[in-house]
Amino acid sequence: MNINLLKSKIIQYRDKKLYVLNNIDNEKLNEYSTFTLASITKLFTFFTILLLQQDKLLDVNDKVNKYIKHEDFDKITILDLLYHKAGLINTFNLELFIKIFLENKNLNFNATNVLKYFINDKLIVTQIGIYSYSNIGYIILGVIMEKITNLSYFELFTKYILKPLKMKNTNIDYTNIILYNNDELLAKEIIICNSYGASGGFLNSCCKDLIKFSKNIFKLINKNSFNIIKNASNIFYSFDNKFIITHEGNMCGIDSKLEITYKKKIKKNNNRSSFICKNIFIKLSTNTTYNLDKLDKYFNKN
């Protein structure tokens, strides 16, 4: 296989080793190189909601209508949103949103402001209680987070996860590397515009920070929160005495994956779930216009 045919920047972290490939420009990649995570961000939203519940600021069994008035929201709960079982449409008219943003760059967008671009649409389109992936659902979670705290979702990510875990390289600003889509530069305006829906996807981060997240996130989680995670079939997989937390992310020019394997500890401490992080797999890439299976084979050989 001629690897020069596959133009990309990609980082893989597996078996405690970092593998890099960049044959599209001259930037040097390392564990601090920040990529857009896309929907891996939903893990941060998921855990932040649980931490807000631990602080008694919400209950995941609350009806969404308690926080956001909509004729359909008295039928669904926060838990339905977390599990992608609220029957919601997947996304809204993102092209229109980007157009408005580019014409009004001084607007202070956050999850709450993004809400107005779809709140009047028909939102529930499939059966409630059946898994149906929805970016809209996680933006709505961001709105709920903002309403009960008067903080933006990123300020909440920072307070509850990034600061406690010392994740200093995770943000919703620009990445510290150049991103591509279809061999062309991914416009910074599009990147920053996308970040305003970051409770659904578009955090930027690096391997160093994601390793911190993987090793330490369960230090923040109590037993009740872990029981909620166990029932999240969209991110949680259990086998023997181990379990996996995983999520992928895809958007224009971006392909990412985080998969963390844990083993339970026997001892419990202060009602906190206690686990050993046994393995971490991270894939961060840009300009993903080809079959990624080919790159996986390349990394497995090197």
State residue 287's pLDDT score.
79
State residue 298's pLDDT score.
45
Q: How far apart are CA 238 and CA 262, in angstroms?
A: 10
Looking at residue 100, which CATH number applies to its domain?
Answer: 3.40.710.10
Query: pLDDT at residue 245 above 90?
Result: yes
What does the pLDDT look like over 176-228, one tens digit per residue? 998 888 777 766 555 555 545 555 557 899 999 999 999 999 999 999 999 99
Nearest to 141 by CA among 237, 241, 45: 45
What does the pLDDT look like over 73-82, one tens digit per residue? 999 999 999 9
Token code pair at residue 251 = 């958007």
Nearest to 121 by CA among 92, 95, 98: 92
Q: How far apart are CA 281 and CA 279, in angstroms?
A: 7
Q: How far apart are CA 245 and CA 116, in angstroms?
A: 32
Region 275-302 average pLDDT: 68
Query: How many structural domains comprise the chain?
Result: 1
pTM here is 0.87
Half-sphere exposure of 261 (CA within 13 A, CB side): 11
Q: How far apart are CA 59 and CA 73, in angstroms?
A: 15
Q: How far apart are CA 298 and CA 278, in angstroms?
A: 24
State residue 291's pLDDT score.
45
Q: Could you list the residue range(s) of the whole structural domain that residue 111 is in? A: 3-301
